[in-house]
Chains A and B, each alone.
Chain A
Amino acid sequence: MSGGNYYVPTTSRWPILGSLALGVMMVGAGSQLVYDTGALMMLVGVIGIVVVMGLWFRDVVRESMSGLYDTQMDRSFRWGMGWFIFSELMFFAAFFGALFYVRTFAIPWLGGEGEKGVSALLWPEFISHWPLTNPPDASVLGPEQVFSPWQLPLVNTLILITSSITLTVAHEALKLGERITCRNWLAGTVLLGCCFIVIQGVEYYEAYNHYGITLEAGIFGATFFILTGFHGVHVIIGTIILGCILVRICKGHFANDHHFGFEASCWYWHFVDVVWVGLFIFVYVM
């Protein structure tokens, strides 16, 4: 409940600039995709967004450090971050839903299962199988082979799970005031994040060059890349966030018992980790 000191900033120029930058980025991206001339505009938009986010967060950090935020504000941030992560979870749920639907219904129906079997009439020779290496229509080339989950994907799984543990160790150290320990374990976490990204890059290279898994490779390629791709983007963002937190730790920010910026980045990282476990099971193993 309010103690009457809730901090309400008077004005801010970052929201309007941020929305303009996002608009510039979107118009640039659209122009690039449709008319092949917009990459520069998109780049300007992206830089604008990054700069605005940096300055906006700088303001928030300064306000926090000068003691303008009370415990009620802290709760606002917690609710905000929690629901933001829930929205991210639902974003991935859409892609997982697509994967499950295709595997459980669409492909078996194309292969002739189901009481109506209408879609089986489209390609009578098609036999249902997964991973879908031979898509129904001959014009679509499926993947030549798919990844074994027990090689790079397993390594990446171990990396991400380890990184969640190292991050927790860093957090516990911060709570005890052992800031050097915290810094080291946090740096380790960032490093593990970078390893994950590199390995995922290697895997994408392999996918395109040796496995025939491409965006065009039917529904397998589509679901594979949209799930691992958006997850990869989230790992990159999470690593950048943890990197910023690491810088702040080095600068001596965060109190032992009051450091929601740190905790929020932990929540985000654990969320990215959990999504990967889902990916590992449903995209690679099953």
Chain B
Amino acid sequence: MAPKLPPQHSLQHSSTAVADGQAPDAHHETPKGVMRWLLTTNHKEIGSLYLIFSLIMFFIGGIFALVVRAELFQPGLQLVEPEFFNQMTTMHGLIMVFAAVMPAFTGLANWMIPLQIGAPDMALPRLNNFSFWLLPVAFTLLLSTLLMPGGGPNFGWTFYAPLSTTYAPPSTTFFILALHIAGISSILGAINIVATILNMRAPGMRMMDMPLFVWTWLITAFLLIAVMPVLAGVITMMLMDINFGTSFFDAAGGGDPVLFQHLFWFFGHPEVYIMILPAFGIVSAIIPTFARKRLFGYASMVYATGAIALLSFLVWAHHMFVVGLPLAAELFFMYTTMLIAVPTGVKVFNWITTLFRGSISFEPPMLFALAFVVLFTIGGFSGLMLAIAPADFQYHDTYFVVAHFHYVLVPGAIFAIMAGVYYWLPKWTGHYPHERLAQCHFWCSIVGVNLTFFPMHFAGLAGMPRRIPDYALQFADFNLVSSIGAFFFGASQLIFVLVVVLCVRGGKKAPAKAWEGAEDLEWSVPSPAPLHTFETPPVFHRAQHGE
């Protein structure tokens, strides 16, 4: 028999040994200057990095959109070659989805989840830093494809095969590798968020005590872990088809281009909920605060979020109604898609009922949250129209689709991000954002957004196809309005930058509880939140938090 050796490091599981767990901190000087940001493991610093990165990318993606809108200002080809136009539509989509909206939500998650659950930091702080620093690498590589011979990706953000394989520019390989890096970042970030939420809650905080932003992010992170690997799989198959002669998406060898669409949308549909569920969480925090009432139907909100997430795995082919699916598939995906309206309706009902007989005030975060409820619902309804398979035969690939998803993404996801930024800026900086300027930003944005996207409904219903740089004369008026609105909306985002910069530098001092009706745990720490919070976990008292 083997001799029984004693465990050599009994230290690691004795409870006394960890008493000086913070000791290594004393040995390290916090690095100064740029090294502080490169090496940081602090959730607040990493959250800020994510948010700044996403703001920069928001403007880069926005400039691409403005190139598109400038070309579409009037019929005919004026400013850019069709080839470059295609690169602009593609890059606008890719940058906004993967580099602006997703990192913005991850940034908010980094900042707020530990504060909202009373944790000292994220569960895996070094991994957190890794997740962030993959993003600049990924998107520098992606943007550099624009400068490569043959130009950047030109096949739309959905990169359907064979446009993205047989007929793609040579830079597509770099696009695939860049997306791989971004995917790794998302998966690792999501794993970290799940571990944090499941393991780091303050003593006494049950799952059903968590703020809804935490709940929605938990479910979002699950979706990310489930579908980002599928994206990695499908782009790997593309890479093989392009470089190694495989036939995944080539019918000549027994593959199928439609297989690409199935795999892509199995990722892609949960992906659109990844971009909206955290927005639901933010709005569910803001509306009760400024209505000075508890959120109506907390539990139903949680269940509705879960239901939306589960349904998101069963609806992907509603993006493919005209690709030649069997009738049974058309019907199945039509019905499951329409089912999503039920939990979404529960949410909208709960927000409105929260407002009912509340003492409402209209600070900037509330303005954005209310605009979210109204305009997101418009986007939801046009989604219901698109869900009807026979009707979709007409709407498919028209500007009606563009109008639909921009309504759920711009006044949906992006307005919610801005609402969240205005809501939590006092906690981050210790100052209130400039009220007048923020209101100005709001009203300019809401005019700009509707001016840009509302006419697209009509252009699309009248038959204007998407992703084409020229159009028939009858669409001229709608496009003129859209283009003016787009430039107005783009310019008004500069006000947002101004407000944020001013708020960081100074402004009216905010107390710990910056908003009168705010109840969650983050408002119990000082404003600005010190670098380290909750090093000793707070004890969560249900009674103080509205249960």
**Interface positions of B (Cβ within 8 A of A):** 1-15, 17-19, 21-22, 24-25, 28, 30-31, 36, 38-42, 119-121, 123-127, 129-130, 133-134, 137-138, 140-141, 170-171, 173-174, 177-178, 180-181, 184, 187, 190-192, 194-196, 198-204, 225-230, 232-234, 236-237, 239-240, 243-248, 251-256, 258-259, 262-263, 266, 324, 326-327, 532, 535-537
Contacts and interface: CB of A to CB of B under 8 A. Distances in A.
26 contacts: A2-B203, A8-B121, A11-B30, A13-B39, A15-B126, A70-B18, A71-B13, A76-B123, A76-B199, A84-B187, A91-B232, A93-B229, A95-B233, A98-B237, A102-B259, A106-B256, A115-B326, A119-B251, A135-B254, A177-B5, A180-B5, A184-B2, A216-B245, A222-B247, A254-B9, A255-B8
Nearest to A134: B254
B374 to A, nearest CB: 36
B120 A102 contact: no
Interface stretch (A24-32, A144-152, A204-212): A24-32
B18 A67 contact: yes
A258 B184 CA distance: 29
Nearest to B122: A8
Contacts of A107: 254
B192 A65 contact: no
Contacts of B202: 1-2
Nearest to B135: A19
Contacts of B9: 65, 67, 253-255
What are the nearest 10 A-B pairs in CB distance? A94-B233, A180-B2, A137-B252, A67-B17, A15-B130, A219-B254, A222-B246, A91-B229, A106-B256, A23-B137
Given A119-B251, A258-B12, A70 B225 contact: no
Contacts of A66: 11-12
Given A87-B229, A215-B244, A11 B177 contact: no
A135 B252 contact: yes
Contacts of B234: 94
Contact of B28 (A11, A217, A226): A11
B2 A102 contact: no
Interface string A128-153: 00001001110110100000000000
Contacts of B266: 94, 97
A92 B246 CA distance: 18
A6 interface: yes
A136 B125 contact: no
Contacts of B13: 71, 255, 257-258
A76 B195 contact: yes
Contacts of B247: 135, 140, 216, 218-219, 221-222
Contacts of B24: 9-10, 68
A65 B10 CA distance: 9
A22 B134 contact: yes
A65 B225 contact: no
Contact of A80 (B2, B42, B124): B124
Nearest to A230: B236
B216 to A, nearest CB: 18
A140 B245 CA distance: 10
A202 to B, nearest CB: 21
Nearest to B254: A219
B393 to A, nearest CB: 14
A29 B177 contact: yes
A86 interface: yes
A274 to B, nearest CB: 16
B258 A252 contact: no
Nearest to B538: A2
Interface string A70-95: 11100110011001101111111111
Nearest to A56: B126
A19 B126 CA distance: 12
B324 A12 contact: no
B203 A226 contact: no
A212 B46 CA distance: 51
B253 A218 contact: yes
Contact of B259 (A7, A83, A90, A98): A98
Given A72-B199, A90-B230, A94-B232, 9 more contacts: A5-B21, A8-B120, A8-B532, A15-B127, A83-B194, A86-B226, A110-B254, A222-B240, A255-B13
A16 B259 contact: no
A237 interface: no
B253 A106 contact: no
A256 interface: yes
A89 B229 CA distance: 8
Nearest to A60: B126
A140 to B, nearest CB: 4
B527 to A, nearest CB: 22
Interface string A156-196: 00000000000000000100111111001000000000000
A220 B247 CA distance: 9
B253 A179 contact: no
Contacts of A95: 233, 237
A29 B202 CA distance: 45
A6 B254 contact: no
Q: Which of A94, A95, A101, A179 counts the most chain B CB atoms within 10 A?
A: A94
Candidate in A22, A67, A72 with the most chain B CB atoms within 10 angstroms: A67
A56 to B, nearest CB: 7
A14 B126 contact: yes
Contact of A6 (B21, B140, B239, B262): B21
Contact of B200 (A2, A70, A86): A2
Given A91-B230, A95-B233, A256 B7 contact: yes
A221 B120 contact: no
A6 B181 contact: no
A18 B130 contact: yes
A218 B250 CA distance: 9
A180 B233 contact: no
